[in-house]
Chain A
């Protein structure tokens, strides 16, 4: 599934106008919105959306924020690498919207994890280490010299 398809899947929910995605610092990464909302507006809003999560208590991981305006609402769902923002009418089916947003957010998390993995640790990616409990461990040996003899443990 492509990014555009993932965002457009939110329009399965009746009334959804469109959506956009900002990264952890609020930079605009994806959009599926009518042209009446331009990128400049989203770039201006992005950092504020990213900072909105700081308003939650430290011991309470945020799930979503809903901003209600006169004629529409903005549903913001946090995920690992950013925030998914959906423009909806006030009478939207909230439960269905949450489910659809969860689905897209999980997909975005998977995509961002896949994109980060090779860049973060290329050596580990090239030489995968088995994590199964039964597999023999490949621990690094330490060399000791005891009474003139060399020992490797």
Chain B
């Protein structure tokens, strides 16, 4: 798959179709090392000479797309949804990076001297360019352990915050000054005394008479477990204890199933835990490593004076 991203993208040549020959793959590592070892000063000029066609592309199968308004995040999500295994070359303004996808998850990234999450963050911050399959071998050791969806969310949030801080007017807050500068402006006041070498325990500040007396510690609520169940993945009760375990199990199984479907819909995977808080009950559901679901319900008593 080969896609051109963003408004400033150049049209792609079908270079991958001609250069997928085995001999091109042999010179691939030398070529990449040469590109990555370039200094920052001469990289721009030199990279212009590096022909994209020399990078071995993936075997010629599937469609090529030229998407003018797609972001790299969108394209990557498509590949993620397709559970793709492969390496993708990303080129943007003479910069290039590699994204390694295994079963749709981003497991490794390379960009110049950066690898792993730092490289992925760098590549995913690029606004436009080209995104191509290439014939690099998939990294055997994953360097990224964060789910792709979480990584994209984090980057989107960082981008939002950066944009927000740019819109914000510059801060006019006070500048911290060294204590030596904290001299009195009035000549009749004494200069600040230097700090004593041995710290002395300071007593708590006197409480203002205008404030009400401190409240005594009070327990607002008392939670007690009233039902506990362990369900198998098929919904059978493995263990049950407390009041009406069958009815409680049914509700837990239904909630767990819905939570699972919600997780799949928003591409967040299987939930780890679920908490259902009502006015008088608090239910905790936990997915266990063996596939079973453990749940407990507590009664939440109203605050008493």
A interface residues (Cβ-Cβ under 8 A, vs B): 17-18, 34-37, 41-42, 44-45, 48-49, 51-52, 54-57, 59-72, 74, 87
Contacts and interface: CB of A to CB of B under 8 A. Distances in A.
Contact of A35 (B71, B269, B278): B71
A149 B159 CA distance: 83
Interface string B251-284: 1101100110111011111111111111111000
B281 A60 contact: yes
Per CB-CB distance, the 6 closest pairs between chain A and chain B, nearest first, are A34-B156, A71-B150, A55-B255, A60-B278, A45-B265, A44-B265
A68 B273 contact: yes
Contacts of B68: none
Interface residues of B, number: 40
Contacts of A59: 280
B74 to A, nearest CB: 8
Given A36-B73, A67-B263, A72 B279 contact: no
A17 B153 contact: yes
B77 interface: yes
A65 B277 contact: yes
A52 B281 contact: no
Nearest to A50: B258
B261 A56 contact: no
B258 A66 contact: no
Given A52-B255, A70-B147, A35 B274 contact: no
Contact of A41 (B146, B156, B265, B275): B265
Interface string B225-255: 0000000000000000000000000011011
B84 interface: no
A36 B153 contact: yes
Given A36-B149, A55-B254, 13 more contacts: A17-B157, A34-B159, A35-B71, A35-B156, A37-B266, A41-B266, A55-B258, A60-B279, A62-B277, A65-B255, A66-B273, A66-B274, A72-B153
Contacts of A54: 254
A56 B263 contact: no
B160 interface: yes
